[in-house]
Amino acid sequence: MSVELRDIDAALARIRAYVHETPLTTHASLNVLCGTECWFKAEHKQKGGAFKARGAHHALTRLSPEQLACGVATHSSGNHGAALALAASRFGTRAFVVMPSNAPRPKREATIAYGATVIECEPTLAAREETLRACVEQTGAVFVPSYDHPDIIAGQGTVAIEMLRQNPELDTLVVPVGGGGLLGGISVAAKALKPSIRVIGAEPEGANDAKRSLESGVRVTQHHPDTIADGLRTTLGELNFALIQRYVDDIITVSDPQIIDAMKLYMSRAKELVEPSGIVGLAAILRKPDLFVNSCVGIVISGGNVDLEHPVWL
């Protein structure tokens, strides 16, 4: 069971009515600083403030009416939970979201605001999975995973189709990688649409399981992430890793201070709000500018849900 361009094309047709085609924008002063032409895909302006709306809505379009009627459930530290809550409300069903106690406050609040039932648990993968299992057992809801599933990957991959339509000149894509749903889906679509394109992952140094997995050829399943990029702390998925091994050219890691610098730079120049996980692509270009000289780079900004009461950049 894998994901191909035709799945991603079909996903785009299915979700078109529910999600935004987000803008692809460029900024003269950032191009000068990066020493290359940068085009930013604004998934922070997606419904719910993150690309996760694509996969969540797509997954729900693939459920039968009977399944949908049972409600949906997931565990998530943030954007996927909010996206699933949003999608469930659009499809007229219930959502149960297991969230670790350290989930960012605004993401938790958004999930509740979209009408989901939030169930808090300890911030460990074991606790999340166990709490979810109990929730599914009690409610009969259908589990919708956050990244390691073909429907989710196909949904997230729709970003690449839009980008290459919006600017066919793009010769490189730089994409955040956490669980690998976004990078996996984008790499499939991009390489199928434009075989010459480079696809590069961007990852925090403190959560570099994708980098280590790609280098060793063996998926890292145990890791102890330590990064401000809360959306990228998840462990690379199995299906995701297979796609990344096949289609991704390189992964660049960035430190938390580099993420903060990129975040402040983008906010002050573009006047847009981005979350730490969202801006690792720009941080990667600023860290390794030599890799991007004379390129036309598409950078995916994956989300913009920051806690304004506790700015991480201070």
Binding site for a second copy (CB under 8 A): 42, 44-45, 49, 106, 264, 267-268, 270-274, 304, 308-309, 311, 313-314
- At 282, list the tokens: 């720009």
Q: Residue 253, Cα to own-chain centre: how many angstroms?
A: 16
Indicate the residue among 81 and 304 with the shorter CB distance to a second copy: 304
User: Residue 71 and residue 310: Cα distance in Å, rounded?
Assistant: 33
Query: Is 277 one of the catalytic residues?
Result: no
For strands 37-42 and 24-25, give the pairing: antiparallel
Query: What is the dihedral angle through the alpha carbons of 99, 109, 96, 303, rounded to the nearest 10 degrees?
Result: -70
Q: Across-strand partners of 297?
A: 38, 172
Distance in Å, CB of 304 to a second copy, minimum: 4
User: Residue 278 and residue 43: Cα distance in Å, rounded?
Assistant: 8
How many C-beta atoms lie closer than 10 Å to residue 276's C-beta? 24
- At 158, list the tokens: 């729709």
Contact present, 63 and 79 (Cβ < 8 Å): no
Indicate the residue among 108 and 128 with the shorter CB distance to a second copy: 108
- As to burial, measured by CB atoms within 10 angstroms (0-12 exposed, 13-18 middle, 19+ buried), residue 171 is middle
Indicate the residue among 42 and 189 with the shorter CB distance to a second copy: 42
Contacts for 268 with CB less than 8 Å, ≥ 6 apart: none
Query: Is 268 one of the catalytic residues?
Result: no
Distance in Å, CB of 249 to a second copy, minimum: 29
Which of 41, 47, 76, 77 is catalytic? The answer is 77
Distance in Å, CB of 125 to a second copy, minimum: 29
Distance in Å, CB of 163 to a second copy, minimum: 18
Which of 52, 107, 191, 211 is catalytic? The answer is 52
Indicate the residue among 113 and 218 with the shorter CB distance to a second copy: 113
- At 69, list the tokens: 């009627």
Distance in Å, CB of 214 to a second copy, minimum: 31
Indicate the residue among 85 and 244 with the shorter CB distance to a second copy: 85
Catalytic residues: 52, 77
